[in-house]
């Protein structure tokens, strides 16, 4: 009799646990580990036109919030991280290499940088200051320790190449590098934008393919960060193009609203090129 009672209690306990597990998700969810989108084979002879483009992603825009959230300093209970958190963790572990943001020209990265240097650029350090004692009126030295602030990375700069593949008759794009932009406070109470480091996008793809990004439109469709970039699920604007002036940025030769006009001009120029390839 006691065995029957114990068996009944065990069955009830298992059913309660099963119901508790299904309260969160009605089915098991997973991301395929090797879900990286494969590039089509590209032969040099098939590329009849190409142009290098710098593109800016503003993480403060609503369409780009899946890249910025959750908090860049932590991880959610279900294991999700922001894009910034992912790349900083991988640099810290040494699985990917970061390069000095000042060393990039057209396609080359020269000087590597370290995680410690990146933290200093993000505000980590010690500052010696003189503080007046309110009791004695005398000055004394004190050391203020500041932590890095990855949450102040508010933009991403992409370096990409657009090309026309005559074999597939398509205008396509491949991302070459990613550069986080840090908003550093200045003495006037504002912010100055600092390029932190460059990452080679091909070094990131295997990592990003295994990290889930929140899908704003559909909880049932699982997306990785690699899906987000490859499917162009972000909002951005053109910030520079390859030219005779050695790849200078748009804001280096125009100001104000003319920056956006120049960005749209470059975008339209690329659209018109593709459009003019066809006859109707």
Per-range mean pLDDT, top range of 34-38, 133-137, 218-222, 235-239? 235-239
Rounded to whole angstroms, how far apart are CA atoms 175 and 188?
36
At 74-126, the pLDDT tens digits run 888 778 899 999 999 999 999 999 998 876 654 555 688 999 999 999 999 87
- pLDDT score recorded for residue 104: 60
From residue 132, give the alpha-carbon distance in Å to each of 18, 29, 126, 136, 146: 63, 58, 19, 8, 20
Is the confidence at residue 20, as pLDDT, over 50? no
If you search the block for the tokens 């934008």, which residue do you land on? 193
Average pLDDT over all residues of the chain: 84
At 181-207, the pLDDT tens digits run 999 988 888 899 999 999 999 999 999
Largest CA distance in the chain: 91
* Length reported for the chain: 280
At 39-74, the pLDDT tens digits run 888 999 999 999 999 999 999 999 999 999 988 888
Closest CA to 97 of 87, 107, 108, 85: 87
């Amino acid at each position: 009799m006691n065995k029957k009672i114990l068996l009944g209690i065990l069955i009830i306990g298992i059913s309660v646990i099963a119901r508790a597990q299904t309260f969160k998700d009605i089915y098991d969810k997973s991301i395929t580990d090797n879900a990286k989108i494969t590039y089509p084979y590209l032969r040099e002879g098939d590329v009849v036109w190409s142009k290098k483009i710098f593109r800016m992603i503003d993480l403060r825009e609503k369409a780009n919030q899946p890249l910025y959230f959750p908090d860049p300093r932590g991880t959610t209970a279900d294991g999700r991280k922001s894009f910034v958190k992912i790349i900083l963790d991988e640099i810290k572990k040494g699985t990917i290499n970061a390069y000095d943001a000042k060393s990039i020209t057209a396609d080359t990265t020269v000087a590597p940088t370290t995680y410690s240097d990146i933290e200093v650029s993000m505000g980590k350090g010690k500052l010696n200051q003189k503080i007046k004692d309110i009791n004695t009126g005398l000055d004394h030295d004190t050391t203020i320790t500041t932590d890095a602030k990855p949450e102040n990375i508010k933009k991403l700069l992409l370096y990409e190449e657009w090309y026309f593949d005559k074999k597939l008759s398509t205008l396509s794009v491949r991302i070459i590098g990613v550069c986080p932009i840090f908003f550093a406070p200045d003495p006037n109470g504002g912010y100055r934008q600092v390029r932190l480091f460059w990452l080679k996008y091909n070094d990131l793809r295997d990592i990003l393919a295994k990290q889930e990004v929140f899908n704003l439109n559909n909880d049932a469709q699982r997306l990785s960060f690699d899906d987000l970039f490859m499917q162009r699920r972000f909002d951005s604007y053109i910030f520079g193009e390859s030219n005779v002036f050695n790849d200078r940025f748009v804001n280096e030769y125009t100001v104000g609203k003319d920056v956006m006009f120049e960005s749209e001009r470059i975008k339209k120029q690329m659209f018109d090129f593709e459009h003019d390839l066809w006859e109707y």
